[in-house]
Amino acid sequence: MAKRFRWLTLAVASALMPLAVLAKEPPPPVADAIYLGGNVVTMDAAQPRARAVAVKGGKILAVGSDARIREHVGPHTRTVRLRGATVLPGFIDPHSHFLGYAFFTDAKHWLDVSSVNLFFKPLPGDPRCKTPDDPQRCFIPVRSQDDVIERITAAARKKGATRVLAMSYDPARLGHGKSCKGPKTNVGFACPNFENGNARATLDAISTKIPIFVSSQSGHISYANTPALKLLRICGVAGITTNCTSPSINPKQELALARRGQLNEDLALYADSFWVGQVLQGDELSAVTSIARAIDIYAGHGYTLIQEGAASFGDARIYLDMMKDDPGFPFTVGLMMYDATSPDFADTIAMAQQATAAIQNQPKMFVAGVKSFADGSPQGYTAFLNDPYYMVFPPFTEPPFPKPYQGLPDLWEGQMERRIEAAHAAGYPIMIHENGDQAADKAVAALRRAHYPDGWKFRDIVLHAPFVSRQTMSWLKSINDPVSFLMGNLYFWGLPQCQQVLGPKVMNGKYFPYPARSALGMGLRVTLHTDSPVEPPDPLFSVWVAKTRKVQQPDWYPNTDQAACPAVLGPQESISIEQGLRAWTVDAAWQYGLSQSHGTLTAGKVADMVVMSDDPLQMEAAPDRLRDIRILATVHGGKHRPNPRGLEKPIWPADY
């Protein structure tokens, strides 16, 4: 009997076998779009290279060969033929100020007194430069203080001028002009400039009838004449005593400077915001045009996630309005919240919570954390150092500044620790701006002592970090936090800092600035950023600087000692192009806590991509070729955005 049933069971199973063989597997899911015939650099170690990508519902459906990806074609699938172009993950912005960059592109209201081509203006001689004598439309660098005075004076004397707002001024990079006494090698702070304690008098000599305000490129110092100071209403300055703003950082020093027309740190941030607000209130259409221009520039350099690096709640509202008006807004936005109007850090925390609630239904925005400042700018003499500055000029040689002058902190160590704990208690990581080595030491020491909640998943960020020591990096490694280097500063300010501000022992001896290779060798996660509008928002340029360690040698700024201040600073800290690209993709995603959704071209992740004319990974032996790469398109959340200038020769920040 048992044998009969066993035979019957086998017979039934045998009869069903053909049915199982004939059963069809479900068809592959249909893609919204496929990208074929490319060089796909995934940045994913499990599958580093591919030929094609399929996208569905804003996410990456599959990565593989052309044949494999064609399996996902349906009747409505869009096919993009790459024709050999390179595709990488979209660039993730570790730190910049998108809206600040946008507002400063406004040539109608802001006078360009820069020696750095922030806005990728064509140079005279380029066919795109239609007015080669107009620095508002073509890039004509200021080479001396005389050039700056000439531009501001011409603007003040224009018929109908009601104010002059100048931006991106930097005395550290100015050469020898007619007003400078002594040898031609006297440059920068050795020549007349707005930072010599006479800014108010110098600007008043141009006009005492209309406000004149000059914003520095670092954002940590600005300069004003008497009418501008009266409008800013700083307590104890220009006769203002009521309904006024007082400095919260080093008030004795800041007020002494403010009376002379120089605004440092919190007063500079307040003044910049005030004048940007005045422009926006008076000409809303111009702001819209400026933002559209900045979108083109950021997307045109491969960004798919951007940061608002010191965001107010008003900034959050601007982004919400933009995204409502334009569902195709081509970026995700990380808000790093900072209340520039209040010295009470509780107000920054409250602003972050308010923004979190306001944007909870907008998937393209998130609060990335809160921000605090440990010190200021090395090229502006406001970074906090362990050793004295190399050469010190007025007003920092005079009371009430201490001797020897090492800069001053924005916060003392205990204050920073309390801010970190408050941020963590509210559920936010903190981004700490620091530039001087003493500021870095104290900021990271505070991070080590501050309480880290159980299950803490976000990363606090040490920002800029030009002179972070090996000891401090080891502390960072112990708490698993990243370091983000402002690498382009090495190119633009390496020579002035070496010759005047910090000296050869710091820039080319004690330890090398922006020690990226050492950081990676110690196992830290490293990102690169531009801090735009401090620098042009060009990721590939920062990768080039990190690889080559080249320092600009402007023809108006003679290098008096090539041995002490070489044109390549710290080649021992060079990193590869691949490591530089990881800093803008894989490690940038990790910095934000977005590794599961961003940073590599992997099935299931968000379809954020950048399409390039050439493969940067093939340029390790010839990194100068990075300057010729054209960004052909970006893809954000699966939405394809061609770069309207993608076929033009790029304007490279170092082309002057």
Tell me, what amino acid is at 475? W
Question: How many Cβ atoms sit within 10 Å of the Cβ of residue 44?
Answer: 19
- pLDDT category at 11 given cuts 50, 70, 90 is very low
- pLDDT category at 7 given cuts 50, 70, 90 is very low
Q: What was the pLDDT predicted at 421?
A: 95
Average pLDDT over residues 31-51: 98
The alpha carbon of 92 is separated from its chain's Cα centroid by a whole number of angstroms, namely 10
The alpha carbon of 350 is separated from its chain's Cα centroid by a whole number of angstroms, namely 25
Euclidean distance between the first and the last CA atom of the chain, given in angstroms as a whole number: 97
pLDDT of 379-426, one tens digit each?
999 999 999 999 999 999 999 999 999 999 999 889 999 999 999 999
Q: What was the pLDDT predicted at 447?
A: 95
pLDDT of 181-230, one tens digit each?
999 999 999 999 999 999 999 999 999 999 999 999 999 999 999 999 99
Q: What was the pLDDT predicted at 509?
A: 83
Average pLDDT over residues 83-102: 98
- The DSSP bridge partners found for residue 112 are 167
Mean pLDDT for the chain overall: 94
Percentages helix, strand, coil for the chain (3-state, rounded to 5) are: 35, 15, 45
- In the sheet with 631-636, reading across from the earlier edge strand, the strands are 49-50, 39-41, 86-89, 609-612, 631-636, 639-642
Give which of 588, 102, 111 is closest to 315, Cα–Cα.
Answer: 102
Q: What was the pLDDT predicted at 437?
A: 96
DSSP character for 122?
A: P
Average pLDDT over residues 558-570: 96
Average pLDDT over residues 257-284: 95
Helix, strand or coil for residue 39? strand
Average pLDDT over residues 153-163: 97
Question: How many Cβ atoms sit within 10 Å of the Cβ of residue 323?
Answer: 18
Q: What was the pLDDT predicted at 21?
A: 52
Give which of 16, 36, 381 is closest to 220, Cα–Cα.
Answer: 381
Per-residue pLDDT for 15 more than 90? no
pLDDT of 374-388, one tens digit each?
999 999 999 999 999
Question: How many Cβ atoms sit within 10 Å of the Cβ of residue 462?
Answer: 27
Residues 6+ apart with CB under 8 A from 134: 140
For residue 86, report the phi and psi dihedrals to the nearest 5 degrees: -95, 135
pLDDT of 308-324, one tens digit each?
999 999 999 999 999 99
Strand intervals (E) in 180-302: 212-216, 221-224, 262-264
Are the beta carbons of 581 and 90 closer than 8 angstroms? no
Per-residue pLDDT for 287 more than 70? yes
Are the beta carbons of 66 and 611 closer than 8 angstroms? no
Average pLDDT over residues 367-375: 98
Compute the Cα dihedral for 114, 197, 176, 391 and give only its sign: negative
Per-residue pLDDT for 12 more than 70? no
**Residue 216 C-beta-side C-alpha neighbours within 13 Å:** 29
Are the beta carbons of 631 and 645 closer than 8 angstroms? no
- pLDDT category at 453 given cuts 50, 70, 90 is confident
What domains does the chain contain, in order, with CATH numbers?
109-281 (3.10.310.70), 283-374+409-642 (3.20.20.140)
Question: Cα separations (Å) of 559 from 38, 285, 380?
Answer: 45, 45, 20
- pLDDT category at 23 given cuts 50, 70, 90 is low
Q: What was the pLDDT predicted at 615?
A: 98
